[in-house]
Amino acid sequence: MVTQINTLITPYRQAKPASHPPARYPGFNPAIKRLSTGSVVRDGALPLACDLVMEQDVAVRLRDGTTIYVDIFRPADAAGPLPALVSWGPYGKQGGVITFDDLPHRGGVPVESVSGLEMFEGPDPAFWCANGYAVVNADARGAFSSEGDIRAWGRQEGRDGHDLVEWIAAQPWSNGKVGLTGTSWLAIVQWFIAAERPPHLAAIAPCEGWTDLYRCDVVRGGVPDAGFADHMFSMFAGGGRVEDVPAMARANPLMGTCWEDKIPALGNIEVPAFVLASWTNLIHAMGTLNGWRGIASPDKWLRIHNTHEWTEYYTSAPDLLRFFDHYLKGEDNGWEATPRVRMAILDPGGADIVDRPEKDFPLARTDYRPLYLDAASATLGDIPASASATVRYDPCDEASRAIFEHRFDRDTEIAGYIKLHLWVEAVDADDLDIYCEVRKLGAGGKHLASRTFLPPGVDRQDLPENPEELPGMIVFAGAKGIQRVSLRATDPARSGPAEPFHMFDRVEKLAPGEVVPVDIQIWPLGMRWRAGERLQLVIGGKKLSGVEFPGLAPADTINLGTHVIHTGGSHDSHLLLPVTN
């Protein structure tokens, strides 16, 4: 049975007041300050490398009459006009509802590596001003003293960012060239701002930012999962309301205009771009790579790293400097000779490959190879099993899973998108929410997982014990896929060999005894297995390893009854791998 639902609700919740103590808002205080070379903003932080001028709570009027407030940092003794870098977000340009101090091990950003002037996930003014840039930190619409309601990305944030870029370009200290930089929210918003094509936007550098709120984050695979969003949006502070993404996910289970507004028009983006991505980010990995592929800029670079977004963003500052120096200052510094793609290949249990030069992504030499599931032997094989078989699991029991393994007889590397094609049946239910994960096992069966940021005293080669039980932002247990079977319809014209493009515009429930095929997108992965090591495919009805942050609310699954996977014979259930060696 096929049904279509087209409710289009954009709900709001009240923001916390700016005076709410956890918001750490220092108050509205327009002022101009001079910070001296060698000054230390907080204990243990990086001393300033040059004298800075800080203009605090500067008013910027947007096209609809809304006023937002920004802080501007400039080198005090600049000899001429300056290029500017913008960080835009709702966290707070000072203080903030979240800081690195709130995260385990400061999220891999040691206190001594930054000055403390940086907005959360944004550029450090101490570094950039010392290298001849202005840095503009913006409290987005609705945040703290900025007027209006806080928006969750979308076209409105794009227009607002456009207006700020053009305001900056008109300032007497500006050279007319503006760049966007930052990670996570501060990366996502870059896609939306750049899609509005502000004339004075010269380059962007998004580090780990999705490009589709529905598909990449809160309704991934058609399963509403707003625990992380609820955690974040419940903290935002200001004088108005906050767009309520968790409520929107529950009110609008299918794709519609409210979700389409959260997909940037990537084809509009033509400015130079340097995109930082990873295989390991549980929120941004897929969308960041899709963003790099989707933008129309002829001058674009991609670096797929092997750490964590926060660690990588700040340690990559010298690389970002070369990029921005070329496009915002016009320096002939050899940036254009940088390989268009630099790729990490994870090798837990061995040594990761880092910065391998490539010409494009996905790799042209990719050989998509199927490994066929055999429920009778719990294996993944190179040829389909001739005999039909089934395996069952209880989707409501975290310990109940279907597990398949393949032992490699030669060294094998994969790099790219992965698809799981399953034939499934629901017993005593009319739908299934399926979770799956591709893991690396050692020859002896030990789960080999990759660390992202490193706790003090821990080496990258130190393998974590029980990685599936650790937070996903610290340890990457494996590449993951999620799919609600009733939302299995895909658009063949927009799908790739291992990239099923699900439309999420109709509900197709299962009849009793009906066995249906479903394609599940497993997020991209670059990983190496050595001869004798094993690939393990785990399938269940709940998340199979650690979530981004401990304590998040679980997904809104619909699982009941028993899940049945059919393999062999006429049921060609298989895992499609992007083999590249």
Q: Among 293, 315, 311, which residue's Cα sits nearest to residue 302?
A: 293
Residue 93 has pLDDT above 60, yes or no: yes
Which pTM value belongs to this model? 0.96
Widest Cα–Cα separation across the chain: 77
Rounded Cα distance, 80 and 82, in Å: 6
**Averaged confidence pLDDT in the chain:** 96
- Residues contacting residue 545 through CB under 8 Å, at least 6 positions apart: 437, 467, 468, 469, 472, 477, 478, 480
pLDDT recorded at residue 351: 95
Residue 5 has pLDDT above 70, yes or no: no
Distances from the Cα of 319 to the Cα of 312, 335, 440, angstroms: 11, 9, 31
Residue ranges and CATH numbers for the domains of the chain are 2-338 (3.40.50.1820), 367-579 (2.60.120.260)
With left for phi above 0 and alpha for psi between -120 and 50, is residue 63 left, alpha or beta? Answer: alpha
Tokens 């060999």 sit on residue: 497
Phi, psi of 474 (to 5 degrees): -105, -40
Q: Among 292, 318, 322, which residue's Cα sits nearest to residue 304?
A: 292
Residue 36 has pLDDT above 50, yes or no: yes
E strand intervals along 52-133 = 52-61, 67-75, 82-89
pLDDT tier for residue 467 given thresholds of 50, 70 and 90? very high
pLDDT tier for residue 8 given thresholds of 50, 70 and 90? low
DSSP string, 314-337: HHTHHHHHHHHHHHHS---SSGGG
Helices and strands in the chain, H and E counts: 10, 29
Residue 343's identity, in one-letter code, is M
Q: What is the pLDDT of residues 363-420, one digit of tens each?
A: 999 999 999 999 999 999 999 999 999 999 999 999 999 999 999 999 999 999 999 9
pLDDT recorded at residue 547: 82
Rounded Cα distance, 99 and 544, in Å: 29
Q: What is the pLDDT of residues 434-450, one digit of tens each?
A: 999 999 999 999 999 99
Rounded Cα distance, 201 and 123, in Å: 17
Neighbours of 112 (CB within 10 A): 10
pLDDT recorded at residue 4: 44
Q: What is the pLDDT of residues 481-523, one digit of tens each?
A: 999 999 999 999 999 999 999 999 999 999 999 999 999 999 9
pLDDT recorded at residue 3: 44
Rounded Cα distance, 52 and 36, in Å: 7
Q: Average pLDDT of 129-141?
A: 98
Rounded Cα distance, 353 and 263, in Å: 32
* Residues 258/10, Cβ–Cβ less than 8 Å: yes
Rounded Cα distance, 397 and 489, in Å: 27
Which residues is 179 bridged to in the sheet? 85, 203
Rounded Cα distance, 323 and 317, in Å: 10
Q: What is the pLDDT of residues 230-289, one digit of tens each?
A: 999 999 999 999 999 999 999 999 999 999 999 999 999 999 999 999 999 999 999 999
CA 32 to chain centre: 36
Rounded Cα distance, 495 and 503, in Å: 10
As a dihedral over the C-alpha atoms of residue 86, residue 90, residue 91, residue 93, rounded to 10 degrees, the angle is: 40
* Residues 316/368, Cβ–Cβ less than 8 Å: no
Phi, psi of 162 (to 5 degrees): -55, -45
pLDDT recorded at residue 128: 98
pLDDT recorded at residue 454: 84
Query: In percent, how much of the chain has pLDDT > 90?
Result: 94
Neighbours of 40 (CB within 10 A): 12
For residue 257 the two structure tokens come to 């205009």
DSSP annotation of 569: T
Dihedral sign (CA 398, 399, 400, 401): positive
pLDDT recorded at residue 89: 97
Rounded Cα distance, 21 and 99, in Å: 14
Give the DSSP H or E segment for 5.
none
